[in-house]
Amino acid sequence: MSRCSNDVVVKTLTQKKLNKQSQIFMTALTDLEACTDIRFRDWVDAGESGHYDAGLRPDDVLQCKQKGCTTTGTRLFARGDTGTGQDVMSSYSLATDALAFATGIVTFFVWASNAVEGATLAFSISDYGDVENMDTYAGARDLDVGFNLITIDLGTVPPGMGGTGWLPSTRGVAISISIIGVPHDVSLGLSTLRIFDSIHDFLVNETVALDCLDDITGSQTMDITASTCFGSTYDEQSMDVSLTINARGVTPNYIVLSPFARRVDDGVGTYIETVERTVVEEIRNGVRYGMVQLADMSEDECRFLLAQKEDECSRVEGWLNHVALPIEISLGDNQFQRLQNGVVADRGKLLFNERLIGQNVIVAYPKDIEGQIIIFDGANANKKSVSAKVVSQFSDGTKIIDTYDRWLITSFPHTLSSEETVFSFTITATRDRGEGFFKRLIAA
pLDDT computed for residue 167 by the predictor: 93
pLDDT computed for residue 240 by the predictor: 85
Tally of residues, the chain: 444
pLDDT computed for residue 2 by the predictor: 58
Same domain, 330 and 392: no
Same domain, 234 and 305: no
Same domain, 178 and 40: yes
pLDDT computed for residue 322 by the predictor: 94
In 3D space, the residue among 214, 217, 221, 259 whose CA is nearest the CA of residue 238 turns out to be: 221
Same domain, 177 and 39: yes
Specify burial of residue 330 (Cβ count, 10 A radius: 0-12, 13-18, 19+).
exposed
Count of other CB atoms within 10 angstroms of residue 269: 15
Same domain, 195 and 210: no
Same domain, 175 and 285: no
Same domain, 97 and 121: yes
Q: Is residue 198 part of a domain?
A: yes
> Mind giving me the DSSP string for 370-427?
EEEEEEES-TTGGGEEEEEEEEEEBTTS-EEEEEEEEEEEEE------SSPPPEEEEE
Task: With a cut of 70, list the residues of the chain below it in pLDDT.
Answer: 1-6, 44-49, 65-69, 78-87, 228-230, 312-315, 431-435
Same domain, 49 and 153: yes
Last residue of a domain, one of 323, 346, 370: 370
Same domain, 194 and 216: no
Cβ–Cβ under 8 Å, residues 100 and 70: no
Q: How many domains are contained in the chain?
A: 3
Q: Are strands 349-352 and 335-338 parallel, antiparallel or unpaired?
A: antiparallel
Expressed as residue numbers, the domain containing 110 is 32-202
Which CATH number is 52's domain given?
2.60.120.260
Q: Is residue 12 part of a domain?
A: no
The pTM assigned to this predicted structure is 0.75
In 3D space, the residue among 372, 28, 380 whose CA is nearest the CA of residue 206 turns out to be: 28
Same domain, 253 and 273: no
Question: What is the rounded (10 degree) CA torsion for 243, 244, 248, 251?
Answer: 50
Same domain, 217 and 295: no
Q: What is the largest CA-CA distance in the chain?
A: 119
424 vs 216: CA distance, rounded Å? 10
Residues contacting residue 320 through CB under 8 Å, at least 6 positions apart: 306, 307, 308, 309, 334, 335, 336, 352, 361
Count of other CB atoms within 10 angstroms of residue 341: 11
Report helix, strand or coil for 335. Answer: strand
Q: Which amino acid is at 231?
A: G
Cβ–Cβ under 8 Å, residues 265 and 370: no
DSSP character at residue 166: -
Please count the CA atoms within 13 angstroms of the CA of 259 that sit on its side-chain side: 17
End-to-end Cα spacing for the chain:
41
Same domain, 37 and 145: yes
In 3D space, the residue among 173, 179, 172, 153 whose CA is nearest the CA of residue 75 turns out to be: 179
φ/ψ of residue 12, rounded to 5: -125, 170
In 3D space, the residue among 204, 213, 203 whose CA is nearest the CA of residue 425 turns out to be: 213
Alpha helix (H) residue ranges in 131-188: none
140 vs 207: CA distance, rounded Å? 35
